[in-house]
Amino acid sequence: MRQVQIKDTLTGRLTTLDPEEKVGIYACGPTVYSRIHIGNARPYVVFSLLTRFLRDEGYPTKLVVNITDINDKIYDAAREAGEPSAEFAARMTRAYFEDTDRLALGRPDAEPSATETIGEILELIAELIDTGHAYESGGDVYFKVRSFRPYGKLSNRRTEEMDQGEESGMASLKQGPLDFALWKAHKEDEDTSWESPWGPGRPGWHIECSAMAEAELGASFAIHGGGSDLVFPHHENEIAQSEAAGRPFARIWMHNGMIETDTAKMSKSEGNIFQLSEALDRYGREAVVDYLISGHYRQPLAFGVEQMEQAAARVERLRNFFREHPAAAGGAAGAAPTVRVPANTRGSTPRWSTTRT
């Protein structure tokens, strides 16, 4: 078993995986308020292929990718579609499975959803209240950021840069401006809610992942991953919640770079999305996967027609090579074998580093 080192966002150093322990990987998955775009697919591909690589190297590995199916964006999108939010989220979840299945990388070992983890979420919130790290206010529950002294250690942001991005109406309920919601009281325009000790409502975004990660991987696990846009506030808040409740949580934080169009991150709010399903229809799954690993996983990746056509050309060259040299692929003469695409690309020859990631 070879040594594998991963760049840890928290420490900024290469951290060595322990070959004696099972490698638990929790990668933040989609919020299902629309079909996923090709940028959403990058972490899915990166962490799926990381899992394959580690297993090939002899590391017992479990990959968990969650689904956020309770969120303000889902309520908004469902109202716009004229559909109950639970049905809308279920439909978008099915679309997510269909789109990512087409990548032919297999499914994660576990794909928990927030709606399936309400009990664990409520237990974690109650613990944080009991230990003085959270408080109820007007039916909401907030995490008391000032109670957790290491807050900010992942993102290294100044206090004035720590905007939680929550609704402005919450400010009057908070004890401190940096505090963030663990539980949100039910609103009249929301068509779902769950009972809690603080009244009907729903969980905040950040507490969902802390609860799902622990439910699937235990209180301590090897790798927490996701896009670099999640470092703050999402992953910063996950650390605060879990560690304040006495959990050691993730040992390594691993973040992939964003997909960018004209130097702007691909996102629905920017209006520059390119759906994964559209890319698969137009270019095929091999070209999509090749594109998504065509640069170092930590770096941003430019997206456009030119980049996708280059990926398609690289795949075609591989196909032609294996047609001409079938023994190299273990196939019969004249066959067009399925190309197993590796997880990182440097220059023109894609390959995983066997020692450093």
> Using alpha carbons only, what angle is made at residue 226 by residues 21 and 238, rounded to the nearest 5 degrees?
80
Question: Residue 168: its pLDDT value, please?
Answer: 52
Q: Is 268 in contact with 36 (CB distance < 8 Å)?
A: no
- The crossing angle, in degrees rounded to 10, of helices 38-56 and 85-101 is 50
Q: Is 307 in contact with 290 (CB distance < 8 Å)?
A: no
Q: Is 181 in contact with 91 (CB distance < 8 Å)?
A: no
Split the chain (357 residues) into runs of 10 and give each run's mean pLDDT.
95 95 97 96 98 96 98 96 98 98 98 98 98 97 96 90 75 90 96 98 97 98 97 97 97 96 66 86 97 96 94 94 81 44 32 37
Q: Look up residue 209 and give its two tokens.
A: 């992942």
Phi, psi of 37 (to 5 degrees): -100, 175
- Residues 138 and 170: their CA atoms lie apart, in Å, by 10
What DSSP character marks residue 349? Answer: E
Question: Residue 337: its pLDDT value, please?
Answer: 42
- Residues 17 and 23: their CA atoms lie apart, in Å, by 8
- Residues 335 and 108: their CA atoms lie apart, in Å, by 30
Phi, psi of 43 (to 5 degrees): -65, -35
Question: Residue 269: its pLDDT value, please?
Answer: 60
pTM of the complete model beyond 0.85: yes
What contacts 24+ positions apart, CB below 8 Å, involve 169-174?
A: 170/140, 173/137, 173/138, 173/140, 173/142, 174/137, 174/142
